[in-house]
Amino acid sequence: MSTADIKKTAEQKMAKSVESFKSELQKIRTGRAHPGILDQVSVDYYGSMVPISQVANVTLVDARTISVQPWEKGMGAKIEKAIRESDLGLNPASQGDLIRVPMPALTEERRRDLTKVVRNAGEDAKIAVRNLRRDANEQAKKLLKDKLITEDDERRSTDEVQKLTDRTIAEIDKLISGKEAEIMAV
């Protein structure tokens, strides 16, 4: 393993951390409807729990309403129950085979709570990135100890990993501020 391999591996893992954080942000609702909000809701389908997207078509009706169209006739009531019992605070309404899920307006207090959730998730992502930096630096030190690289190479590797870490944390900060602005917008 070389310092280039260490940097490349750290870069890939940090990119995965950012992607994971982005998907985490999508689950936090902002008052606007988004089909991804229902991704975490599972429904009983012939004895096994599956995501709603595997038993129904989830689309947007307008900016504040999600439409769920089950593929099978008997699934409507189960899907409606699963959405109602989820911790999303949504109240679906059936209209024949179609289930409409209106997004309630967020109160000011709820908006503040959601920004705290976003900041905490962002801090967790930053911690993951810092742990990846530590691992990469330890690998470089091990190569130095085994006399596979020089001290200059180890110092250069540490500096490159630090720059990569700084860029990744700046990207996470940008995502946090963007999501906070989205939540606080009326």
Residue 100 phi, psi (nearest 5): -105, 135
pLDDT by 10-residue block (mean), the chain, 186 residues: 88 93 80 76 87 89 87 87 81 87 81 86 93 94 91 92 95 92 78
Q: What is the per-residue pLDDT for 33? A: 75
Q: What is the per-residue pLDDT for 138? A: 94
Q: What is the per-residue pLDDT for 186? A: 57
Q: What is the per-residue pLDDT for 29? A: 67
Nearest by Cα to 2 from 161, 164, 159, 157: 157
The answer for residues whose C-beta is within 8 angstroms of residue 180's C-beta and 6 or more apart is: 115, 118, 119
Q: What is the per-residue pLDDT for 69? A: 92
